[in-house]
């Protein structure tokens, strides 16, 4: 298990402030900006890696054809306060060979054109989310204004990143526009490029965003039309009338946060677990848990180590929240092509003392039990609770952590004509978030990159807890 943490510096060139951006990019904008940067040749630099970026003026990419100007409803899952933030990610691509006798294709031009065509199908992305100042439900206004797109040049090669391609990515803020509703492509001198995307979570969850990006990629590769047509139908995930909250939903428990905990500086860090590391953890388990999934084994290890590193009061309630989506699970509730929010995060709950005193196997059982609650009824019950309580956020206290497994989404399969992405990862990780991303390191070892954030004082202790757990022998079941 290896780790990588913050500590990179970068030099900014030709930057601009949010005031320079179009006024219609309101605080609840749907999709942010697309930034394209070309990376120039330099020698391999010692860490920390630094590079400069030169940006062009941002432009709005509108749908290629006229689209309806209308208001669309958002579901009770869409507008929960826990989804009212920006999600962002970055994709890195290698160069492709030019066609014999032809000119090299500019990725910015290809993606910009495909984006315009994709917005004809996904025209809400070209609109704006409008909030209700009276505390009511936000709605989607389909204005056809478009998505912000920025081209830029940066003086670094893809291979210079090495394993620093893992978060915290050097100068990530240079590759991603600080505007909601945006995509970004960074051309590399080696012929490759990086594409960064920023999206308001209210309009889509991760599967919905990837569906849109795959649609854009399909058109970029020359398809005359989309294979999978988008479905809006947000009313399917609205609360019932009358609401029927049938589960406890401890993930929405209100918990007061200590002011001292709120002021602690946090660090972003990536821990790389090889397949051998996960196998070593699995060998510790009793026979009845040997078939545990990689997610369950790794999550139990990280959750227990995290709480131990935080040194919480033994009587404090702690929660592990596990992101699970309705996509592909419940076709009547979440039909094929649906790209709205359909996620739930069932929670396991106990005291810090109970968690730290439990065996790895017992924590796995807690994770399994919480995940087993996920069902179509669970999603409906969650929508009902959200509507009744005014769309609260899931609990974000220091004692809570949210696990999101992105390995099954086909992140690297967003192919604009340059093949699979070399690597892709989320960029903004909120305090309670922990993401699992497939990764192969510079040694060719396959495994999982675990991206997480912790208060600075706890980060080294967390690494120590993980190492200690990896070294422990098999668990002996109680008689």
- Quote the crossing angle between the two packed helices 294-310 and 275-283, to the nearest 10°: 80
Q: What angle is formed at CA 164 by the lines to CA 83 and CA 49, rounded to 5 degrees? A: 115
Partner residues linked to 322 by β-bridges: 403
- Catalytic residue numbers read 201, 415
CB 117 within 8 A of CB 223: no
- 125 three-state secondary structure: helix
User: Cα(463)–Cα(471) distance, rounded to whole angstroms?
Assistant: 13
What sign does the dihedral 385-390-394-397 (CA atoms) show? negative
H/E run at residue 308: helix 294-310
In this structure, what are the phi and psi dihedrals at residue 244, rounded to the nearest 5 degrees?
A: -135, 90
Q: How far apart are CA 426 and CA 10, in angstroms?
A: 20
Whether 148 contacts 36, CB under 8 Å: no
**In angstroms, rounded to a whole number, what is the distance separating the alpha carbons of residues 336 and 240?**
22
Pairing verdict, β 423-426 and 433-440:
unpaired
Q: 197, 145, 183, 180: which is closest to 26 by C-alpha?
A: 180
Peptide bond into 415 cis (omega under 30): no
- Nearest to 376, CA basis, from 428, 413, 324: 324
100 burial (CB, 10 Å; 0-12 / 13-18 / 19+) is exposed
């Amino acid at each position: 298990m290896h780790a990588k943490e913050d500590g990179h510096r970068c030099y900014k060139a030709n930057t601009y402030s949010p005031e320079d951006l179009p006024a219609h990019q309101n605080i609840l904008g749907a999709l942010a900006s697309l930034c394209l940067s070309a990376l120039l040749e330099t020698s391999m630099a010692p860490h920390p890696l630094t590079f400069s970026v030169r940006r062009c003026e941002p432009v709005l990419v509108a749908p290629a054809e006229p689209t309806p100007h209308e208001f669309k409803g958002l579901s009770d899952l869409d507008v929960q306060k826990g989804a009212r933030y920006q999600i962002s990610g970055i994709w890195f691509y290698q160069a492709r060979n030019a066609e014999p006798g032809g000119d090299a294709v500019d990725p910015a031009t290809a993606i910009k054109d495909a984006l315009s065509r994709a917005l004809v199908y996904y025209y809400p992305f070209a609109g704006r989310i409008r909030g209700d100042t009276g505390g009511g439900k936000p709605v989607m206004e389909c204005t056809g204004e478009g998505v912000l797109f920025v081209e830029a040049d940066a003086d670094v090669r893809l291979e210079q990143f090495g394993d620093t391609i893992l978060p915290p990515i050097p100068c990530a803020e240079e590759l991603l526009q600080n505007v909601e509703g945006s995509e970004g492509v960074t051309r590399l001198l080696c012929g490759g490029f990086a594409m960064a995307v920023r999206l308001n979570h209210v309009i889509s969850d991760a599967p919905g965003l990837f569906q849109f990006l795959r649609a854009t990629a399909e058109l970029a590769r020359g398809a005359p039309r989309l294979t999978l047509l988008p479905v809006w139908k947000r009313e399917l995930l609205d609360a019932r009338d009358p609401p029927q909250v049938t589960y406890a939903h401890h993930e929405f428990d209100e918990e007061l946060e200590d002011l001292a905990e709120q002021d602690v500086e946090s660090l972003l860090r990536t821990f790389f677990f090889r397949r051998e590391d996960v196998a070593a953890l699995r060998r510790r388990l009793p026979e009845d848990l040997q078939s545990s999934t990689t997610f369950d084994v790794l999550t139990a290890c990280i959750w227990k180590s995290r709480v131990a590193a935080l040194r919480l009061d033994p009587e404090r309630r702690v929660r592990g929240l596990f992101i699970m989506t309705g996509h592909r699970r419940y076709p009547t509730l979440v039909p094929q092509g649906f790209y709205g929010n359909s996620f739930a995060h069932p929670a396991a709950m106990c005291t810090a003392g109970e968690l730290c005193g439990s065996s790895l196997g017992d924590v796995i059982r807690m994770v399994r039990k919480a995940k087993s609650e996920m069902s179509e009824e669970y999603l409906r019950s969650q929508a009902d609770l959200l509507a009744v309580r005014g769309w609260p956020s899931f609990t974000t206290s220091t004692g809570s952590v949210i696990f999101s497994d992105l390995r099954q989404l086909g992140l690297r399969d967003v192919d604009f004509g340059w093949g699979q992405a070399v690597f892709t990862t989320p960029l903004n990780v909120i305090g309670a978030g922990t993401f699992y991303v497939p990764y192969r390191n510079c040694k060719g070892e396959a495994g999982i990159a675990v991206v997480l954030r912790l208060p600075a004082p706890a980060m080294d202790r967390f690494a120590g807890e993980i190492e200690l757990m990896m070294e422990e022998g098999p668990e002996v079941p109680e008689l």
